[in-house]
């Protein structure tokens, strides 16, 4: 299975090229929940922090200011440590 990919500190040119500011926004309060990605998701974290633990894989901490790519078919657990707000796009 493909791992979670994190791009730290993307510049505005990349964000504009990807069109992230046109994507919908998702928000989640501090909580823990399971999730399965039926298709690949690319997101840009606007606020917050979470630890995402893929089933059978190493936990990944995601934070505000990062682009995160979740592979299609991945099942994981989310541990939202401070409220998360993100732009997201499913491929």
Q: Select from 4, 44, 27, 33 the least CA-distant residue to 83.
A: 27
pLDDT at residue number 49: 98
Q: What DSSP character marks residue 23? A: S
Q: What does the pLDDT look like over 35-90, one tens digit per residue?
A: 999 999 999 999 999 999 999 999 999 999 999 999 999 999 999 999 999 999 99
Contact 71, 37 (CB under 8 A): yes
Checking if the pLDDT of 1 tops 90, the result is no
What is the set of domains in the chain, with CATH numbers?
A: 5-90 (2.60.120.10)
User: What integer is the mean pLDDT of 18-35?
Assistant: 98
> What is the pLDDT at residue 16?
97
pTM of the model: 0.94
């Amino acid at each position: 299975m493909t791992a979670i990919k994190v791009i730290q500190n993307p510049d505005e040119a990349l964000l504009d090229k990807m069109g992230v500011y046109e994507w919908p926004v998702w928000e989640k309060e501090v909580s823990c929940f399971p999730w399965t990605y039926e298709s690949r998701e690319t997101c840009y974290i606007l606020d917050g922090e979470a630890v995402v633990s893929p089933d059978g894989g190493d936990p990944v901490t995601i934070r505000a200011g990062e682009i995160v790519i979740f592979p299609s078919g991945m099942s994981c657990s989310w541990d939202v440590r401070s409220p998360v707000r993100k732009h997201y796009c499913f491929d």
